[in-house]
Structure 1
Amino acid sequence: MAVSGFIIFAVVVDCGGVKSDKRGYIGAHYWHEPGAFNHGFKGFCSVFVNAAFAFGGTELVGLAAAEAANPRKTLPAATKQVFWRITFFYVVSLFLVGLILPSDNQDLLGASSSNTKASPFVLAIKLTGVKGLPSVFNAVITISVLSVANSCTFASTRTMQALAIRRMGPKFLKYVDKKGRPLWCVLIQIAFGFLAFIGEASAGSTVFTWLLSLSGLSYFFIWGSICLSHIRFRAGWKAQGHTLDELPYQAQFGVIGSYIGFFLVSIAIIATFYVSLFPVGGAPPDAQAFFEVYLAAPIVIGLYIFWKIMTKFKGPLFVRAENMDLTTGLRSFDLDELDEAAPRKKSIANLPKRTLRGLF
């Protein structure tokens, strides 16, 4: 509701409809002066890690799918909601922020990365002179952070417990209580949550930058591995005589979508490496500046090598499609029942209702 309200508010501001805003009609002025793309191509590539950090979490739909009672019904609905919510709430709102907030705003440039008061949304509202609304949006940001923490608790604890089951983590993490909660995983997740208090230290912004680079770039590896896993899974599924009709859910863009996704992620990783080695502004290569952006890459590679050493390089580096294990942990479904429960063909009459449901 807050973001929807901001979109309407930003359109009014851009058209000069707020009396307290002395700038009047803005239009696309800030896209030309000071400009929409600072530092050209390098500037564009330099924000990939921040963008990945902001978009992180969309892959949790797949993680939750493992526990979905009816994946043929719930997965299409969930994935469509994620797509349209990102398009509407992320892309549209950020486009409008770029229209009403200059990129060289001093509060924006000089603010700490972990300071919610420096949110572009809040700064854009402050420039209009509207009283009280910045505080409301700060409250919305705080509530959103709690929501993110909730979903990350689910994701991290499930991942740790799954690693332990596969003997890729400490055995005690396998423990699940009578109510299905991986308690040790939850305690570890909460312990890491206390890192947030580092933000109160004098070097808090520096630590936050390192954590941002670690988590932001990691998403590229996560999304790339998801796309590659889907490509290889489809190859194994076909090689072992299965058909797509046996799958309770099929990706909307199929294998082609995964190929495109893997290509784009690879390009983003290469571009980030380029700006990490040759920073924006023409500064010479610097080790600290490089790892402040590209820290996740050596850690991911190091963890892979560590695991291969721990397992004494058992197993092949590449599993052929016909030799893939596609049955362990496989859930069986009555596809006839799923088809009956699946949503029927959509009509134009209920389009407004479906649109609202998809967004909210």
Structure 2
Amino acid sequence: MYIRPNPPGAFAEYIATGPLGRFEGFLGSLWSASFTVVGPEYVSMVAGETKLPRVYLKTAFKTTYARFAFFFIGSALAVGLVVPYNDETLLAILGGSASGSGTAAAPPYVIAMKNLGISVLPHITNALLVTSIFSAGNSYVYYGSRSLYSLSLQGQAPKFLRRCTKKGVPIYCLFVL
């Protein structure tokens, strides 16, 4: 027995109409999302500073992929179930006609919490997003300074960038970033 889904359904039509258009919409979103997932290359960068990398990196890579599956795919699925692709708030924000465009009201996670009618969760979601952004910034500073330090050691960056603190922090590389 076929049960017709509630409008608008799970998938938006992208280029064509019908089932092919919904499949193209899925592929289009998958293509965009695949470029936003980062992390495994960071684990490999840390390998140079890890004691016993053969022991610890195997576990680190496995947990990285499990985290991606849970957080990225799971949260995208959950938001996709709660926020339809033709949601008025989402379309207004994406189109730039809403006042929340470019603010903390724009993430689909916040729109999902508002649609569910839970008043405190949008604030918690925004706090978690800010924490995540801060964590990403810390990672970029770490990897950028280590990459610049490595370039200096190889003679492809100025020699003064080789200077480190007693704890091994490439201090001048941090200033350059």
Instruction: Note whether the superposition's TM-score is higher than 0.5.
Output: yes
Equivalent residue, structure 1, for 2:61: 79
Greater mean deviation of Cα atoms: 58-67 or 35-44: 35-44
Contact 2:149–2:170 (CA under 8 A) maintained in structure 1: yes
Question: In structure 2, the residue corresponding to 1:176 is in which secondary structure?
Answer: coil
Structure of greater Rg = 1
Unaligned runs of 5+ in 2: 16-20
Match of 1:125 among 97, 108, 113: 113
Q: Take 1:148 and 1:68, find their aligned partners in 2: how far apart are those partners? A: 20
Q: Take 1:38 and 1:119, find their aligned partners in 2: how far apart are those partners? A: 21
Quickly say closer, same or farther: Cα 1:57–1:110, change in 2 above 3 A: farther
- Cα RMSD over matched residues? 2.6
Match of 1:164 among 152, 155, 161: 152
Quickly say closer, same or farther: Cα 1:90–1:42, change in 2 above 3 A: closer
Question: In structure 2, the residue corresponding to 1:116 is in which secondary structure?
Answer: coil
Please tell me the residue identity of whatever aligns with 2:81.
Answer: L
Contact 2:39–2:64 (CA under 8 A) maintained in structure 1: no
Match of 1:38 among 14, 18, 23: 14
Q: Shift of the alpha carbon at 1:71?
A: 1.6
Q: Shift of the alpha carbon at 1:181?
A: 1.2
Contact 1:161–1:182 (CA under 8 A) maintained in structure 2: yes
Q: Shift of the alpha carbon at 1:48?
A: 3.2
Please tell me the residue identity of whatever aligns with 1:74.
Answer: Y
Q: Take 2:46 and 2:8, find their aligned partners in 1: how far apart are those partners? A: 40
Q: Take 2:51 and 2:7, find their aligned partners in 1: how far apart are those partners? A: 49
Please tell me the residue identity of whatever aligns with 1:86.
Answer: F
Equivalent residue, structure 2, for 1:66: 48
The normalised TM-score by structure 1 is 0.41
Provide the aligned length of Structure 1 versus Structure 2: 161
Structure 1 consecutive aligned stretches of length 4 or more whose deviation exceeds 4 Å: none
Quickly say closer, same or farther: Cα 1:162–1:131, change in 2 above 3 A: same
Contact 2:13–2:25 (CA under 8 A) maintained in structure 1: no
Please tell me the residue identity of whatever aligns with 1:144.
Answer: S
- Where do residues 213-292 of structure 1 align in structure 2 (5 Å cutoff)? none
Contact 1:30–1:98 (CA under 8 A) maintained in structure 2: no
Q: Take 1:81 and 1:100, find their aligned partners in 2: how far apart are those partners? A: 28
Quickly say closer, same or farther: Cα 1:43–1:94, change in 2 above 3 A: closer
Match of 2:132 among 101, 120, 144: 144
Quickly say closer, same or farther: Cα 1:165–1:114, change in 2 above 3 A: farther
Contact 2:82–2:112 (CA under 8 A) maintained in structure 1: yes
Q: Take 2:49 and 2:67, find their aligned partners in 1: how far apart are those partners? A: 23
Equivalent residue, structure 1, for 2:72: 90
Q: Shift of the alpha carbon at 1:150?
A: 1.5
Quickly say closer, same or farther: Cα 1:168–1:30, change in 2 above 3 A: farther
Please tell me the residue identity of whatever aligns with 1:44.
Answer: L
The normalised TM-score by structure 2 is 0.78
Q: Shift of the alpha carbon at 1:99?
A: 1.1
Contact 1:28–1:99 (CA under 8 A) maintained in structure 2: no
Unaligned runs of 5+ in 1: 1-26, 190-360
Q: Shift of the alpha carbon at 1:38?
A: 3.2
1:149-203 deviation per Cα after TM superposition (whole angstroms, max 9, x unaligned): 11111111101111121122233322222221111221232xxxxxxxxxxxxxx
Q: Take 2:82 and 2:31, find their aligned partners in 1: how far apart are those partners? A: 22
Contact 1:161–1:174 (CA under 8 A) maintained in structure 2: yes
